[in-house]
Amino acid sequence: MIAQPLQISIARSLTEKALLPDEWSTICDTRLSSDRQGSEQLFLRWQKRLGMRQAYLNAFEKRLQQLGLDQDSAIAFLTPRKLPANAPVPDWAIVLEAILQVDNFKQPIVSVAQLQAWTEAELQQYDINLDALPLFPQFLHPFVTWALREIQSQQPDLLSWNAIETIGRYLVWRLSELSARTIAYEVKQHSFKGKLLGDTPELRYQYFAEQVLGNSAGLTELLLQYPVLGRLLAVATQQVASSIIELLTRFKQDIVDLAQVFGCDRTSSIAALFPGLSDSHQGGRTVCLVQVSDQTKLIYKPRSLAIDHAFYHLIDWLNQTGSTPTFKTLKILDRVEYGWTEFVATQSCDSEAAIARYYQRQGGHVALAYFLCGVDFHYENFIPCGEYPVPIDLEALLTSGVHVPAREWKHLPKYLLPSSLFSMLSTGMSTYWRSGDFDQILFAASGINGSGDRPWHTAVSAWSNINTDRLTLKRTAQPLHFDQSLPRLNDQRISVDRFLPDVVQGFAAVYRTLLQHRKYLLSEESPLQAFYSVQTRVLVRDTSDYSGLLAWSVAPDQLTSGAAFFVALESLSELSPTCASLAPTQAIVDEERQCLRWLDIPSFYGSPASIDIYSSEGTLYPAFVQQPSFQQMQQRLEDASEEDLIWQAELLRVSLAMALNLEAAPNQTSKPAWLNQSLNAEWLQLNGWVPLNAAVAETEATDPMLKLETHLSAIAEVLTNLALNHMEGSSWLSLGRTNNSAMVAPVHHYPWHAAGAAGTSLLFANLARHTGNEQYARLARGGMKFTFSMLEQFSQAGLWNDLPVSGYHGIGLGIYALTETGRCLNDRSLIDQALSIALKLTPEKLLRETNPDILCGAAGGLLTLLHLHRLHPDQRLVDRAIDLATPILKSQASGAAAGWFIPEFERPLMGMGHGAAGISYALLQLYAITGDSRFKESAQRGIAFEQQNFAIEQQDWADFRQPIGHTQFMTGWCAGAPGIGLARLGSLGMLEDEAEIWIDIERAIAATQKHLGKAQHHLCCGEAGRIVFLAKAAQQLNRPELWETAIQAAVATTTFYERRGYWRLHEFSERRIIPGLLDGVAGIGLMLLWLLDPKSTSQAWMLA
């Protein structure tokens, strides 16, 4: 097509402005513009963008080094250039030149009215709400005209007119997404300047769309102002046209085979076509729905379907083995580079029994996805076709990744391996989590249950004032629901709540089938061999993060030049990788940016037979993983066992249950049918299928102690339901942030960690003593069995010296928890186990300890040894405590007032957890037993250090973990007044002159009272820590007014839960599902129990 001279000039001008800085390197004899001011501003924006997050310190400097730039050359890099007269213009500029021809505005193929006439089928297929979506057919129709002419010139007779109209409307939607933010800004600017005619906002908008932009001159002027927008519109238009032409060509070539496989007429044309049903990859290619003229519906996928074919071959085999219920298979036609599948429509079930079978099949899919090393099987990956969940998008099976433990992890028991990597939790079919606002619970969704009863109240971009000159994009909080994968019954979507046993039963059935046929499945005749050479998808980052970056990058100020758009896409480096151990290399990051600038969601691929991956363009990235996924799949099969089945089934049950509202869940008391009758009797006694009965209802009782007991019972009820009961005992899943991002992952902590089994078991041991409830006692014993067994296995594996001695995050907590559980349950054998663990601590190990604090180091371990000694006097325990005191003394700074040096901190700290208060308290306990004055003198110097650094103006102790020059006050157990006050209370009666100690106690009481009601509730740095200090002070000092204050604070805390439905914990807010002593609800529960029964409840906050 020959362009008019004016248009050639415009195309060259647009090219000059829209080329990205690195694209100029292929063009010779360019000249820099003399205007550097804009480039300097872009440089500062670039610098700020890469330096916004602390995790990317020096990221900007490193990025400049990668590009071979310094500050001056970087500014030149961003400076506009002049295109030489003989330089060719890129393809997109030629396309844009053709689109801007006047004839395209005057002679549309599909009229503006037709482009606005969306059908119900289209609105449903694309999930579009026309009242909330700005569309601009008035000036985008020339792009549609160009695309349809291209399509019709290649395949003139294959598409019905309805299909042509659908393509046109889809393209308007696609281009409007790219244009909307710029149009919103420009229409308001024109209106503000009085350039729009009309008496109403609607008429002024109509004038802008039809008269200002609805002609070649007006649209050209806009695109010269926003040249990157012109580039993106041309690229998207060209991609839609070329991808549809490719689809039509393939349809025509394949019609005979399509008729044979799917039963359609060989003379069929295409009656309806819905492009854009997936993310855009490989030059704008997307999944499409095709309806041929005889009403047969097909799904076209522009990728190999070999993996889908292999999967359904495996399903055929599974059905033939007699597995019940059977699974649905799909008809597939694979063409290596693309393929066709039958269309699966959503259908309802006809009974609750069918719903149960649906969830049994979903459990089976979990087992298949686990053994096939599948990931990212979220709520959009299943279509509920009656009682059959039909998996789609199977390319994340056997993905290149880390699916079995590397050599350095082989020595660990399965229970201590990262569960989010090496269990069924990695599939995405169980619950995955995201954090948002601190004043809401986490967002949770799963491939099985969608988002359940947890709508995510998150800030989303929403348009308002559609079709007016006040068109605005705002961030607004909206509840998002994801329930597409749920089965239907009587037009209702049925949650998994009442069908957890069915899910687990289905999982166990398929797991056991694969286990029984393991030898065959590992043979050369196995249906698994079909997976060996298929193409798989490699997820480097979450695809929604890519989409979010693209949506943000089309803001108008980032479309004014190629350099501005380049800087916008630099934010890619801030997106978290899906797997921290497989962070993308710089070459992969460069490929990602390249895809995004062409509006593609980056995609990478691999093979189960290879450790390499490659990009959609074929670029090879060698040795991305250490082991081919096919071998890892075989390893998972080889490692399968009945014990592993129990473990995996419990992980599945609990991970799904954590996202349910357990406080309103139905009763389910029967033992699940899938349990093998030959299982260990002790395991069965743990009542592994704990009923999900409703928690005790919240109460408005006037008796505050009854209210506290009600909430304590509710915490115990939920944690009982969420206990993982396995062959090694009992434990709990927790949740933790991933890579400091919004992603939250299930974590199965080491049992000797405060967030692990030992910390939570302490609550159940004390509850058993308080209530006589045998179920609580079983859970406490189960937690101690797990803790002791794992410590023993670490010792036998030669890993003992790798464990910290810490009283909260190491061997010390194991000793303390065994000791206290033995005391509470009157079980001497547990105390004997504590002693056996303690005596494994050799002088060599103890003397090597480098951290002196209570929370993570020697002082905490020392206290647990002394506590055991009080219940089981043994001089060997005292000797080991003295050994631990030696590195503590060595870590102290010099001077009459001196704290201790803590690893990773630049100065000595104050407080109970990491600071002088806790260490001094521990040394004084040792002094009380040994009479060794070294320990008393060291403790006195530590106390003097905190007295010297008391902030008179704020009447509190600062948190010295902050950098020097930054003053912050925490007022928590770990740092601040409550912890210091507890330490001083524990030191009374041990020093000759206690006047300063009493002053510190009064100061701590005053500061703690002042900060009651602050944000968080957990024990470590929240309200529970403040409450236990005030209650301890009331008890020890005979101060009833402090006891009343503590009770009132505890009641206020429970009232907060009743009104909000969550606790504010360390990293996020949640229901009663986060276990753990310091950061979870087990610690809150222990605080409540201590208020109810202070004489016999463990004082874990003092390791006493």
Enumerate the domain spans of the chain.
5-19+87-259, 349-450+485-535+625-671, 680-687+699-736+744-891+1061-1104
pLDDT of residue 662: 74
Q: Which of 688, 693, 690 is nearest to 675 (CA)?
A: 688
Taking residue 870's Cβ as centre, other Cβ atoms within 10 Å add up to: 12
Per-residue pLDDT at 661? 82
What does the pLDDT read at residue 702?
Answer: 67
**Cα 791 from chain centroid?**
30
Q: How far apart are CA 968 and CA 980, in angstroms?
A: 16
Return d(Cα 63, Cα 56) in angstroms, integer: 11
The identity of residue 819, as a single letter, is T
Res 683: pLDDT: 31
**737 φ/ψ angles, rounded to the nearest 5 degrees:** -65, 150
Q: Quick one: what percent of the chain has pLDDT higher than 90?
A: 81
What is the mean predicted confidence (pLDDT) over 552-564? 97
User: What is the mean predicted confidence (pLDDT) over 475-483?
Assistant: 83
The DSSP code for 212 is: I
């704008």: which residue's tokens?
Answer: 284
pLDDT at 668 over 60: no
| 205-228 per-residue burial string, b: 16 or more CB within 10 A, e: under 16 | bbbbbeebbbbbebbbebbeebbb
**Containing H/E element for 62?**
helix 59-67
User: What distance in Å separates the CA atoms of residue 487 and residue 503, rounded to the nearest whole number?
Assistant: 13
- Counting every residue, how long is the chain? 1104
Say yes or no to pLDDT of 669 above 50: no
Residue type, 391: P
pLDDT digits (tens, 9 = 90+) for 815-836: 999 999 999 999 999 999 999 9
Q: Is the pLDDT of residue 692 over 50?
A: no
- pLDDT tens string 184-199: 999 999 999 999 999 9
Mean pLDDT of 417-438: 90
Contact yes or no for 706/698 (Cβ under 8 A): no
Amino acid letter, residue 327: F
Helix (H, G, I), strand (E, B) or coil at 753: strand
Q: What share of the chain is helix, strand, coil (3-state, %, to 5)?
A: 55, 10, 35
For 999-1018, the pLDDT digits (tens) are 999 999 999 999 999 889 99
Residue 196 host element (H or E): none
pLDDT in the model for residue 476: 84
Give DSSP secondary structure letters for 348-383.
-BSSHHHHHHHHHHHHHHHHHHHHTT-----GGGEE
- CB distance 152 to 124 below 8 Å: no
Three-state DSSP class for residue 128:
coil
Q: Where does 131-229 show beta strands of DSSP type E?
A: none
Residue 91: how many other CB atoms lie within 10 Å: 11
Which residues sit opposite 381 in a β-bridge? none
Between residues 674 and 964, the one the model is more confident about: 964
Q: Are 776 and 1085 in contact (CB under 8 A)?
A: no
Q: Do residues 83 and 27 lie in contact, with contact meaning Cβ atoms separated by under 8 Å? A: yes
Distance CA 69, CA 966 (A): 34
- pLDDT for residue 576: 80
Q: Mean pLDDT across the stretch 779-799?
A: 96
DSSP 944-968: HHHHHTEETTTTEE--TTSPTT---
Residue 16 has pLDDT above 60, yes or no: yes
The 10s digit of each residue's pLDDT in 1047-1092 is: 999 999 999 999 999 999 998 999 999 999 999 999 999 999 999 9
Residues 684-695 have a mean pLDDT of 32
Q: What is the pLDDT of residue 1103?
A: 98
CA distance 248 to 152: 10
pLDDT of 3: 34
What radius of gyration do the chain's Cα atoms show? 33
- Calpha distance 160→166 (Å, rounded): 10
pLDDT at 450 over 80: yes
Kindly report which listed range (458-467, 857-866, 982-991, 1056-1065) carries the lowest average pLDDT score: 458-467
Indicate the residue type of 991: L
Going by the DSSP 8-state scheme, the letter that residue 859 receives in this structure is H
**Alpha-carbon torsion angle 305, 311, 315, 318, nearest 10:** 150
624-640 pLDDT, tens digit per residue, is: 999 999 999 999 999 99
pLDDT for residue 409 is more than 90: no
Q: Cβ distance 1093 to 1045 under 8 Å?
A: no
Q: Are 968 and 976 in contact (CB under 8 A)?
A: no
Q: What angle do CA 55, 61, 65 make, to 5 degrees?
A: 125
pLDDT surpassing 80 at residue 304: yes
Mean pLDDT of the chain: 92
Q: Which residue has the tokens 């925490």?
A: 970
Task: Tell me the three state secondary structure of residue 774.
Answer: helix
Residue 48: how many CB atoms within 10 A of its CB? 11
Q: Omega before 325 cis (within 30°)?
A: yes
What pLDDT is attached to residue 673? 43
pLDDT at 267: 86
Handedness of CA 113, 119, 125, 127 (dihedral sign): positive
The beta strand positions in 393-440, using DSSP E, are 432-434
Nearest to 723 by CA among 668, 786, 650: 650
Q: Residue 408 has what pLDDT?
A: 74
* Confidence band of 8 (pLDDT split at 50, 70, 90): low
- The torsion defined by the Cα of 562, 563, 566 and 570, in degrees rounded to 10, comes to -170
Give me the CATH topology for the region 349-450+485-535+625-671.
Answer: 1.10.1070
3-state secondary structure of 476: strand
Which residue type, as a one-letter code, is found at position 281?
H
**Segment 38-47, tens digit of pLDDT:** 899 999 999 9
Coil/strand/helix, residue 97: helix
99-126 residue pLDDT tens: 999 888 999 999 999 999 999 999 999 9
Q: Is the dihedral of CA 182, 184, 185, 187 positive or negative?
A: positive
Q: Which two tokens stand for residue 1039?
A: 């101060």
Q: Apex CA 916: angle with CA 911 and CA 920, to 5°?
A: 115
Query: CB-based contacts of 736: which residues, under 8 Å, 6+ apart?
Result: 744, 745, 747, 1067
Q: How confident is the model at residue 53 (pLDDT cuts 50, 70, 90)?
A: low
With residue 299 as reference, give the H or E element that holds it: strand 297-301
Predicted confidence at residue 54, as pLDDT, reads 41
What are the CA-CA distances from residue 578 to residues 287, 336, 819 (Å)?
A: 24, 28, 41
Strands (E), 507-656: 536-538, 604-606, 613-615, 620-621
The pLDDT value given to residue 325: 95
pLDDT category at 432 given cuts 50, 70, 90 is confident
C-alpha 539: how far from its chain's center? Answer: 14
Outline where DSSP puts E strands in 895-1000: 950-951, 956-957
pLDDT at position 1081, please? Answer: 98
- The per-residue pLDDT for 454 is 80
The rounded percent of the chain whose pLDDT value lies above 70 is: 95
Give dist(CA 1072, CA 718) in Å, integer: 6
Q: What is the pTM of this model?
A: 0.91
Lowest pLDDT segment from 93-102, 279-288, 435-444, 576-585:
576-585
Q: Which uninterrupted H or E stretch holds 321?
A: none
Work out whether strand 492-493 and strand 488-489 pair parallel, antiparallel, or are unpaired.
antiparallel
**Exposed / middle / buried, residue 1029 (Cβ in 10 Å: 0-12, 13-18, 19+):** buried
CB-CB neighbours of 388 under 10 Å = 21
Bridge partners of 1070, per DSSP, are 1063
Residue 600: burial class (beta carbons within 10 Å; 0-12, 13-18, 19+): buried
